[in-house]
Amino acid sequence: MNKAEKKFRIYAIIVIFVLLTVLLTVINGVNFTMAADDADMLTEMLSERQGSFERGENAPGDFQYRPKDDGFRMGPMGPQSPEMNASLRYFTIAFTDSGEAETVAFNISAVTESEAREWARSLYREKTGWTKGTYRYRVYKKGGTTYVTVIDQGRELLPSYRILIISAIGEAAVLLTGWFVLLFIGRKIYAPIEEADRKQKNFIKNANMEFRVPLTVIYANTELAERKYGPDDQTRSTRRQLSKMNELVDRLGEISVFDGEPGQAAEFPFSEYLTRALDKKAAEFEAKGVSLTVNAAPGVTVRADRDAMEKLIDELICNALKFSLSKADFTLKNENGRVVLETENDADLPDGPADQVFDRFTTLENNKEKENGAGLGLPFVKQTVRAYNGRVSAEVKDGAFALRIVM
């Protein structure tokens, strides 16, 4: 499985997970909120009747105490059920100002009457809420008496808990199934991409190999022609073109080697190598009239294959040298525990994102210099950076080409 396919599957499963979690959280949240509202409605009904369905103006089962606004409470199936006064498990304890307790109603089996009084006393200073998991309570005052009503909502909450558990199991099942579906879909989607990638790599490898012998023959024949007729403009032009082709073949060779896995990772002295490499090229920058600025924080290192990193830095310097008009800046620093390398050079390029430079054989049009590379250096840079889970981006702003690497 290639990296892109793996990434696709991981992102897709994360999206499914987030969407399902949001959906199920909303459903279960609303369900539990409504259960609490239903319970509050019941304790409110009881508070209006001084803690007992046996009290008040209406007889048990009388529909008059049902609120008009039914909402989602499902009429007789909800708290307004005419059977509620007969089926509700609850108790109400009244406390006088002196703290004397009196049982107003006791229709519950889970605790004894004296335990209920103690329980109510512990809730005396509260207002409303859940107690012991599935019991809803309300504390209210009527006259000089404080009432504590506790109702059992265990049976009413049971379906909500079942839905919660089923939701969790269902989500896990969907994610598992989704993972296998994505495995299948991912292969279908990525098979042609992988094939194209494999063909491109093979082409580069073969082109690299197949061009080498013909180039050798052309070099030799040019030499023979020069020996026979003497060097002239044609043979000199042939040699220049041969040099360009030679460079291209070498680059293809490097890329085809790096198309495999990166080498052994070790601590690479980034700032040290960058500074040294730029020092070596300083004269060339100067000769080209390019002002070079280097801000490399000392001691910056990265864990990576040494050869690949050296080549990456060489490519960036080569690029700056080739395309800069008058200035080139290199900044290396540690930022949030990661190594950040920024390069900027004026290059008279059209403004905008320039990520196409990371595509093989693609170069940006440079109107003044007309010196375009083979389009293989920056793709190599991107490949190297991504091999170590880094990021690389490029843009052109005010005609300056800026590249940022984070790894």
Partner 1 sequence: MKILFAAPDRDLLECYKSILENDMGELIAAFDGAQVLSLVGSEKFDISVLDCDLPRVEFDRLTAKMKEKQIPVIALTNGHKAKDPKADAYLTYPFTPDVIEDLIRKTLDRAKKGQINE
* Single residue of 185, 215, 265, 374 touching partner 1 by CB under 8 A: 215
Q: Tell me whether residue 382 is exposed, middle or buried, using C-beta atoms within 10 angstroms of its C-beta: 0 to 12, 13 to 18, 19 or more.
A: buried
- From 137-145, 162-170, 188-196, 210-218, give the range in contact with partner 1 by CB under 8 A: 210-218
DSSP state of 59: P
Write down the least CB distance from residue 203 to partner 1, Å. Answer: 14
* Single residue of 47, 50, 85, 256 touching partner 1 by CB under 8 A: 256
Q: Which is nearer to partner 1, 191 or 224 (CB)?
A: 224
- Please give the C-alpha separations between residue 236 and each of 41, 178, 241, in angstroms, as whole numbers: 98, 64, 9
Please count the other Cβ atoms lying within 10 Å of the Cβ belonging to residue 344.
Answer: 20
Write down the least CB distance from residue 227 to partner 1, Å. Answer: 8
Q: Which is nearer to partner 1, 202 or 291 (CB)?
A: 202
Query: By C-alpha distance, which of 351, 326, 345 is closest to 403?
Result: 345
Cβ–Cβ under 8 Å, residues 406 and 387: no
Contacts of 285 (CB under 8 A, 6+ apart): 291, 292, 320, 321, 324, 328
Q: Which is nearer to partner 1, 168 or 257 (CB)?
A: 257
Q: How many residues sit close enough to partner 1 to count as binding (CB under 8 A)?
A: 20
Write down the least CB distance from residue 232 to partner 1, Å. Answer: 18
Integer Cα distance of 328 and 325 in angstroms: 8
Bridge-based pairing state of the strands 101-107 and 145-152: unpaired
Contacts of 360 (CB under 8 A, 6+ apart): 200, 204, 255, 375, 376, 379
Write down the least CB distance from residue 300 to partner 1, Å. Answer: 33
- From 167-175, 214-222, 276-284, 313-321, give the range in contact with partner 1 by CB under 8 A: 214-222
Q: Which is nearer to partner 1, 89 or 205 (CB)?
A: 205
Write down the least CB distance from residue 16 to partner 1, Å. Answer: 44
Residue 380 touches partner 1, criterion: CB under 8 A: no
Q: Which is nearer to partner 1, 12 or 242 (CB)?
A: 242
Q: Which is nearer to partner 1, 245 or 297 (CB)?
A: 245
Please count the other Cβ atoms lying within 10 Å of the Cβ belonging to residue 338.
Answer: 13
Instruction: Pull the structure tokens for residue 123.
Output: 């809730």
Query: Of residues 232-251, which lie at the interface with partner 1 (CB under 8 A)?
Result: 242, 246, 249
Q: Which is nearer to partner 1, 82 or 214 (CB)?
A: 214
* Single residue of 8, 65, 106, 219 touching partner 1 by CB under 8 A: 219
Bridge-based pairing state of the strands 291-296 and 327-335: parallel
- Binding residues for partner 1, per CB under 8 A? 205, 208-209, 211-213, 215-217, 219-221, 223-224, 227, 242, 246, 249, 253, 256
